[in-house]
Amino acid sequence: MFLDSKGERKVIKNKIIKVQDILITVASEDFDDYICITDMAAAKGGDSRAADVIRNWLRNRMTLEFLCTWEEIYNPEFKVFESEHFKKQAGLLTFTPSVSEWIEKTNAKGMYVKRGRYGGTFAHKDIAFEFASAISPVFKLYLIKEFQRLKENENNQKKIEWDAKRFLSKNNYLIQTDAVKNYIIPSGNYRTNLEWLAYADEADILNVALFGFTAKAWRESNPELAKKNNARDFATINELTVLSNMETHNAHMIREGKCRQERFAILKEIAEYQLKILNEADRVKTQIGSQE
């Protein structure tokens, strides 16, 4: 999982789904999803009784069997012996465990408690779907339906971003290569004249200015990935946006007759400045989104 500087879970992004008029938060973390069961519990008992609904669910023998099995499958650090203490007390009137107590004593990873205004108890989607059964079978079906809709929308967005990456990585490239051909490489036979290598030199000026390494260095460090990909396939949208701008600037400087050293210094400055601006804008946007 992702952890922040305090060793706490780091939420990559939150999304909201609506299930039978109830707004439920979905937190995406470390390539997986956790659903706020506090929001779900409020649908059954109201905000004031949400914690009681979760406690009653947690004290059930079948619930504990499910949680233990999930943890044993996915969490190698789960304390099985300590979990037996919970199962032995299941169903007793005096047994009212909290999620925090469950996590603290068993080192469970399937659920976590987030404090604060936008907090609550979050459970891995497998566990959240099981909890939804305690609300009602109908609620569970609608939850699964809306969750699937959310993931389909995210996948569509990822495809759009991937297409954008491919477009940006090629956008303006013809402008630059045309400039290289016309102003650096004299006409000749490419089979015998190796001046075409200047294409790779120009690409690496951009690579080093933006990424800090050459394409060859990346290929040598990533031989398997290099069979089907190049370094730019793994760049962020922000990096590829800056790269597209750099290609245009580089083509213009080639026409002006600037030497490689001068162009590299200018391109490096452009890369650092523009990437800083774009990344800062994303950071602010993420902060605002997490507070909404």
Both 226 and 136 in a single domain?
no
Determine, yes or no, domain membership for 266: yes
**How confident is the model at residue 99, as a pLDDT?**
92
pLDDT band for 160, please (50, 70, 90 cuts): low
Structural domain count, the chain: 2
Most confident listed range (44-53, 107-116, 274-283): 107-116
Both 20 and 136 in a single domain?
yes
- CA 107 – CA 128 distance, rounded (Å): 18
Average model confidence (pLDDT) across the chain: 77
> Residue 236 CB: number of other CB atoms within 10 A?
14
Both 235 and 275 in a single domain?
yes
pLDDT over threshold 60, residue 42: yes
In the 8-state DSSP scheme, what is residue 186?
Answer: P
Both 63 and 132 in a single domain?
yes
Determine, yes or no, domain membership for 162: no
Both 97 and 208 in a single domain?
no
Query: Is-contact 36 27, C-beta < 8 A?
Result: yes
Full domain range(s) for residue 193: 171-291
Both 179 and 232 in a single domain?
yes
Both 140 and 226 in a single domain?
no
pTM score: 0.52
Both 24 and 134 in a single domain?
yes
Query: Is-contact 241 278, C-beta < 8 A?
Result: yes
Determine, yes or no, domain membership for 165: no
What is the arithmetic mean of pLDDT over 219-244? Answer: 79
Last residue in a domain, options 118, 153, 188: 153
Both 145 and 210 in a single domain?
no
Determine, yes or no, domain membership for 163: no
pLDDT over threshold 60, residue 2: no
Write down the H helix ranges in 19-172. 37-45, 50-58, 61-74, 80-89, 99-106, 125-135, 137-170
**Helix 137-170 and helix 237-256: axis angle, to 10°?**
10
Determine, yes or no, domain membership for 261: yes
CA angle 286, 290, 292 (to 5 degrees): 120
- CA 202 – CA 12 distance, rounded (Å): 36
Question: What is the total residue count of the chain?
Answer: 292
Both 132 and 188 in a single domain?
no
Last residue in a domain, options 95, 127, 153: 153
Determine, yes or no, domain membership for 2: no
- Does residue 172 come out as left (phi exceeding 0), alpha (psi in the -120 to 50 range) or beta? left
Determine, yes or no, domain membership for 5: no
Determine, yes or no, domain membership for 161: no
Between 207 and 8, the more confident residue is 207
Both 184 and 128 in a single domain?
no
- CA 52 – CA 47 distance, rounded (Å): 10
pLDDT band for 101, please (50, 70, 90 cuts): very high
Both 140 and 19 in a single domain?
yes
Between 198 and 73, the more confident residue is 73
pLDDT over threshold 90, residue 169: no
> Residue 285 CB: number of other CB atoms within 10 A?
10
Give the DSSP H/E element, type plus range, for residue 276: helix 260-291
- CA 241 – CA 202 distance, rounded (Å): 18
**How confident is the model at residue 199, as a pLDDT?**
58
